Structure 1
Amino acid sequence: MKVYEFIKGKRGAIGIGTLIIFIAMVLVAAVAAAVLINTSGFLQQKAMATGKESTEQVASGLMCTGVTGHKNSNGLDRIAIYITPNAGSAPIDLKQVKIFLTYDGKSAVLNFSKVTSETEGSGDIFNVNDWNSADNSSFVVGIIQDADKSLESGVINKGDIAVLLVNVSAVFGGEIPTREEVTGKVVPEFGAPAVIEFTTPAAYTDEVFELQ
């Protein structure tokens, strides 16, 4: 009888030990599952944010639709760069845009100066008063097409067309003669830049002419 009771007590002890181990395993599994769920949720949110930023970076940007030049008696002294957003682009703040220009081994970086409404509906883009605000380190934004009036605050979005007024004679310390190559780009805060590349005409026969 004593032997039976002894064996019965040992079985109970073994059962309690097994139960403790089982509970410990469940707790460990629960903790591990909670960590995995939290980690996967964080990674999912991070991936979504990164994907959104990547899509915005790839889809957004500016496109150069043309460059018009103006000459004085000595050569090319001003250029007007026409830009519009890429298809599917998010709105772009032109106050954060920079223009990079290279000519004859010289490079210049131009920053935003102001927005002028004088260009809207103007027949002569080179005969507006606000050209005076375009100097050796800055450019002026002109409005060509702006249905929602966003360009008035310096933001270009879908359907808008802006013109960037650049005084190249001030930027490079003199007018640009014939047969000279000028390159550059209009770089927004995010997205693809608009490319500028042209060669001045072999002869300046007109006061205003297309360059790109």
Structure 2
Amino acid sequence: MFEKIANNEDRGQVGIGTLIVFIAMVLVAAIAAGVLINTAGFLQSSAEETGQQSSSQVTDRLQVVSTVGSVADNSGDPVISEVEITVKRAPGADNVDLETTIAQWVDSSSTADLTWDETTSGNYDAATNFTSSTFQDDDSSISESNVLNDPADRAVLTFSAADISSPGIDEGETVTIKLNTQSGGTTTATISAPETLSGKSTVAL
């Protein structure tokens, strides 16, 4: 049975109740829409940030141009005592700060994590640090701030093999050096010493 509205006053009360319910529904829908819009915006920002970080890890890295080793005598046995790696920005990479780059040295007998430092600093340790110098730089960004900011920039990273893995790199030995930039881009340089180092002062690796 349906309730029978007896008079006009009851009709007015029912109309007001319906209006209140309607307004409440509109408010709830508006709040829900606002929450959904904010959530969508947050998810979009997070996705863009994640995409940029992932892209940086792929593109913002170094590219090896050449590697050279200096030969020294170790009690009659020649070894590579120093390694120089010439690097540039990889294609599509943004500026690369060499001061925040980390190197991992792996050879047959040892592993070392190396950070950038200056030989003039009081904290420099050839067993745990590497240095950088300018090979080609039109605006002095490398010499002044150790930053590769142009595709034409070339920097030389110097590693003391004699201190990192004493007495150095033996004949025929292979060493892997991983260069990891601040954004997470990784470059692997695999260097192999020649089978004979006798009579040589420098060798290409």
TM-score by length of 2: 0.84
Describe the superposition over 1:4-56 as per-residue Cα deviations: whole angstroms up to 9, x where unpaired: x9333332222122111111111111111121222222222222222222222
In 2, Cα distance between equivalents of 1:108 and 1:45:
38
Pair 1:84-2:88 in alignment = yes
- Aligned partners of 1:95 and 1:112 also within 8 Å: yes
Aligned residues: 192
In 1, Cα distance between equivalents of 2:127 and 2:33:
62
Q: Which residue of 2 aligns with 1:9?
A: 9
Aligned counterparts, 1:147-186, within 5 A: 147-152=138-143, 153-159=145-151, 160-186=153-179
1:106 CA displacement: 0.7
In 1, Cα distance between equivalents of 2:59 and 2:172:
35
- Aligned partners of 2:53 and 2:183 also within 8 Å: no
1:206 CA displacement: 2.5
1:115 CA displacement: 8.1
Q: Which residue of 2 aligns with 1:138?
A: 129
TM-score by length of 1: 0.82
Q: Where does structure 1 lack aligned partners over 5 or more consecutive residues?
A: 117-132
Q: Which residue of 1 aligns with 2:109?
A: 105
Identity %: 33
In 2, Cα distance between equivalents of 1:51 and 1:28:
34
In 1, Cα distance between equivalents of 2:26 and 2:125:
72
- Aligned partners of 2:56 and 2:185 also within 8 Å: no
- Shifted more, 49-58 versus 169-178: the winner is 49-58
Q: Where does structure 2 lack aligned partners over 5 or more consecutive residues?
A: none
**Corresponding residue SS for 1:58:** helix
1:76 CA displacement: 1.0
The runs of at least 4 aligned residues of structure 1 exceeding 6 Å deviation read none
Q: Which amino acid aligns with 2:20?
A: I
**Corresponding residue SS for 1:135:** coil
**Corresponding residue SS for 1:6:** coil
Q: Which residue of 2 aligns with 1:200?
A: 193
In 1, Cα distance between equivalents of 2:91 and 2:184:
12
- RMSD of the TM alignment (CA)? 2.2
In 2, Cα distance between equivalents of 1:108 and 1:162:
22
In 2, Cα distance between equivalents of 1:29 and 1:57:
42
Describe the superposition over 1:119-172 as per-residue Cα deviations: whole angstroms up to 9, x where unpaired: xxxxxxxxxxxxxx7722211101011112111211122321111111101211
In 2, Cα distance between equivalents of 1:192 and 1:72:
33
